[in-house]
Amino acid sequence: MPGPAHIRLLSDEVINKIAAGEVVDRPASVLKELLENALDAGATRVTVEIVAGGRKMIAVSDDGGGMDRDDALLSIERHATSKIRDVDDIEDVATLGFRGEALAAIAAVSQFTLTTRTAAAEGGTEITVAGGKIRDVRDEGCPAGTRVQVRNLFFNVPARRKFLRSEQTELSHVRQVFLLYALSHPAVGLALRVDEREVWRLAAGATLNDRLLELFGPGTISQLRPVDFRAGELWLHGYAGIPSLSRGDRSDQYFFINGRPAGAPLLHFALSEAYHTLLPRGRYPVLYLFLELPPGQVDVNVHPAKKEVRFRNTGAVRDAVIEGLRRALGTTPAAPEAAPIHPLASVAPPAEAWLPAIRRDQPPAFAYPRLPMAPAEGEAPAPGPSGSPAAAPAAGPWAWCRVLGQVGGLYVVMETPDGVVLMDPHAAHERVLFERFMKEVTAHRVNSQGLLAPETVALLPQDARRVREQLDLLRDMGFGLSEFGADTFLVDALPVCLGNVSAAALLAEVADTLERAGARGGTERWAEEAVAQASCKAAVKARDQLAPEEIEELVRALAATGMPYTCPHGRPTVIFMSFGELHRKFGRA
């Protein structure tokens, strides 16, 4: 048996290669570090050049502040940085980079050239490094700013180079990194050249809307809703996709925390909270969200590549993201009016329609009158089926439509000037009832119904503690609930909107969601889940044949809801097919 190994100090060469493994694992990670340095230097224009997917060459040129000769030499030393001075600065980082490791790590595993000049200097400096060893330092005529060229990545680490993928795969990762920083800093002009061919040239001074339009086109923009929500020192802004713009994974979810592309587990939880009644399981929304808060409230030093952060006040961040998204998507219920609520009353609809604007000058179809969502100026409301004036809610997903009938004993077919809409009455009725019930819940004006015989519910100790802490809130939500000794509760009333449900199952669900989400978010989540279940039970059944009057009332009520496009479980309520699409299918395009 060999004896115990003796402890020895590693050489600088080995240390540098180990450090490089933490910072640099592929060309895309090199580009990430170089872009962060350029942006931290105040660049307004950055050009990226890629050859062979980054395996042969990655170059980043910027018009930022540049460096003098001494700073340029220091920049390639390990743990040399201009961004922090002492340990306290780590708690208040306002730059993208701060550790002083990136350039040294990259230079240790490549053939590296740094060319830089400050605006005030007449000449610049060029430093050449190969495998971590300085080969040359000389004066160089160059524009103000900095250019870093990285050639033959991992040329001196064959084991690491073997793990690189094909040029196309590495290029896809490089493009994704470029995209991230193009989105996170829309005011900075960015260009990407791949194998001497220009792929992107993004204008400087752009807004986020401009940048999204450049990168993704008008089709995506039309399906995004603006997000703008402030809570104390926290500001959430950006864009959130409507339910129809969803994906099978999270690849199109972009989070930027104080300008840094990063994530955190609680952000994904907050997303699921905000969208859980809009999207079915396995579907994920498209998002471009910016979270701004004081640097001291965010710990960016928890991941080697700074891809994940930690928040000091997790509850405030979680609640702000949920509330901001709900307001943007129109799913935050409005306060009820003083007048009694009609069984199919609506909440305020979103400001923007997600289906095309509809004309109101078409004749009725068959026996169905047209359904104007609002009368024209000076025009009396159109008569309803019985001849009485019909209600005229504010404009929703359509301003005019006509019902053509019900097909297959289920789906309602409607015509609009721009196409055909198919509506699932069951899903539509779920949405209408759901918003009516949520209005009661959030306004703490829930009608309660006493149980014929009070029910005693025994919970596990930890579940009982969580329910006990929220007794007042549960009573406001329509529960007749009191402690009955030990971990047992007496339930003598339940909200009418919940229907015939088990009190024991409800309280167990409350405890579980409180544990997973915290008191405020968890209770709201449970309330929505419970209301969604009740809506499903109370809604019209899938095979119910509806009278024309019932269809018209349902169409009006759905158009006036805050989220008319999905049921509370995320299934679509309506499907729109444009006449353009029909023309293409019939060969008329």
Please, is 356 exposed, middle or buried when counting C-beta atoms within 10 Å of its C-beta (0-12, 13-18, 19+)? middle
Nearest-angstrom CA–CA distance, 316 and 300: 18
Domain 217-329 adopts which CATH fold? Ribosomal Protein S5; domain 2 (3.30.230)
Equal fold, 217-329 vs 341-375+389-589: no
Question: Of 98, 103, 123, which is closest to residue 113 (Cα–Cα)?
Answer: 103
Nearest-angstrom CA–CA distance, 471 and 269: 25
Residue 146, amino acid = T
Cβ-Cβ contacts under 8 Å for 20 (sequence gap 6 or more): 105, 106, 108, 109, 157
Residues paired with 246 in a beta bridge: 285
pLDDT tens for residues 526-537?
A: 556 655 655 566
Cβ-Cβ contacts under 8 Å for 492 (sequence gap 6 or more): 450, 451, 454, 455, 480, 482
Q: Does 91 have pLDDT greater than 60?
A: no
- 197: helix, coil or strand? strand
Q: Band of the pLDDT at 422, cuts 50, 70, 90?
A: very high
Residue 109, amino acid = V
User: What integer is the mean pLDDT of 559-583?
Assistant: 86
Parallel, antiparallel, or unpaired: how do β-strands 480-483 and 197-202 relate?
A: unpaired
Residue 348, amino acid = A
CB distance 461 to 494 below 8 Å = no
- 166: helix, coil or strand? coil
Give me the DSSP letters along 205-263: T--HHHHHHHHH-HHHHTTEEEEEEEETTEEEEEEEE-TTSEESSSTTEEEEETTEE-B
Q: Does 375 have pLDDT greater than 80?
A: no
Please give the pLDDT value at position 333: 45
Q: Band of the pLDDT at 525, cuts 50, 70, 90?
A: low
Nearest-angstrom CA–CA distance, 529 and 527: 5
- If DSSP states are collapsed to H, E and C, what string results for 278-347? CCCCCCEECEEEEEECCHHHEECCCCCCCCECEECCHHHHHHHHHHHHHHHHCCCCCCCCCCCCCCCCCC
Nearest-angstrom CA–CA distance, 377 and 183: 43
Question: Of 224, 249, 247, which is closest to residue 237 (Cα–Cα)?
Answer: 224
Cβ-Cβ contacts under 8 Å for 125 (sequence gap 6 or more): 67, 68, 69, 72, 114, 115, 116, 117, 137, 138, 139, 140
- 135: helix, coil or strand? strand
Q: Does 381 have pLDDT greater than 50?
A: no
Q: Which residue has the tokens 């040359």?
A: 136
Q: Residue 543 CB: number of other CB atoms within 10 A?
A: 9
Question: Of 557, 469, 569, which is closest to residue 511 (Cα–Cα)?
Answer: 469
Nearest-angstrom CA–CA distance, 103 and 111: 12
Q: Does 133 have pLDDT greater than 70?
A: yes
The two structure tokens encoding residue 122: 């007449």
Q: Say which DSSP state 496 is in.
A: G
- If DSSP states are collapsed to H, E and C, what string results for 23-55? HCCCHHHHHHHHHHHHHHCCCCEEEEEEEHHHC
Q: Does 42 have pLDDT greater than 80?
A: yes
Q: Say which DSSP state 566 is in.
A: B
Instruction: Match domain 341-375+389-589 to its CATH number in 3.60.21.10, 2.40.128.260, 3.30.1540.20, 3.90.1170.50.
Output: 3.30.1540.20
Parallel, antiparallel, or unpaired: how do β-strands 253-257 and 287-292 relate?
A: parallel
Question: Of 555, 547, 546, which is closest to residue 401 (Cα–Cα)?
Answer: 555
Q: Does 383 have pLDDT greater than 60?
A: no
Q: Does 364 have pLDDT greater than 50?
A: no
The two structure tokens encoding residue 575: 């499907």
Please give the pLDDT value at position 566: 87
pLDDT: is 36 or 442 the higher one?
Answer: 36
Which segment of 267-276, 286-295, 337-346 scores lowest on mean pLDDT? 337-346
pLDDT: is 165 or 444 the higher one?
Answer: 165
pLDDT tens for residues 461-486?
A: 877 877 887 787 778 777 888 888 87
Nearest-angstrom CA–CA distance, 376 and 382: 10
Q: Which residue has the tokens 């979810």?
A: 253
Which segment of 11-25, 160-174, 330-344, 490-504 scores lowest on mean pLDDT? 330-344
The two structure tokens encoding residue 469: 């802490």
Nearest-angstrom CA–CA distance, 508 and 510: 5
Cβ-Cβ contacts under 8 Å for 486 (sequence gap 6 or more): 458, 464
Q: Does 351 have pLDDT greater than 50?
A: no
Nearest-angstrom CA–CA distance, 503 and 513: 16
Parallel, antiparallel, or unpaired: how do β-strands 45-51 and 189-194 relate?
A: parallel
pLDDT tens for residues 162-198?
A: 889 899 899 999 999 999 999 999 999 999 999 999 9
Q: Band of the pLDDT at 453, cuts 50, 70, 90?
A: confident
Q: Does 3 have pLDDT greater than 80?
A: no
Q: Band of the pLDDT at 280, cuts 50, 70, 90?
A: confident
pLDDT tens for residues 53-88?
A: 999 999 999 999 999 998 899 888 866 555 434 444
Class of the domain covering 12-205: alpha beta
Question: Of 574, 500, 572, which is closest to residue 530 (Cα–Cα)?
Answer: 500
pLDDT: is 5 or 404 the higher one?
Answer: 404
Please give the pLDDT value at position 341: 26
Please give the pLDDT value at position 500: 63
Q: Residue 509 CB: number of other CB atoms within 10 A?
A: 18
* Domains of the chain by residue range: 12-205, 217-329, 341-375+389-589
pLDDT: is 532 or 33 the higher one?
Answer: 33
Statement: the pTM of the whole predicted model exceeds 0.85: no
Please, is 190 exposed, middle or buried when counting C-beta atoms within 10 Å of its C-beta (0-12, 13-18, 19+)? buried
Q: Band of the pLDDT at 203, cuts 50, 70, 90?
A: very high
Backbone angles phi, psi at 431, to 5 degrees: -60, -45
- 130: helix, coil or strand? strand
Please give the pLDDT value at position 184: 94
Cβ-Cβ contacts under 8 Å for 171 (sequence gap 6 or more): 50, 53, 54, 194
Which segment of 253-267, 339-353, 555-569 scores lowest on mean pLDDT? 339-353
Task: Provide the percentage of residues in the chain whose pLDDT is more than 70.
Answer: 72
pLDDT: is 221 or 230 the higher one?
Answer: 230
Burial 257-270 (b: 16+ CB within 10 A, else e): bbbbbbbbebbebb
Q: Band of the pLDDT at 301, cuts 50, 70, 90?
A: low
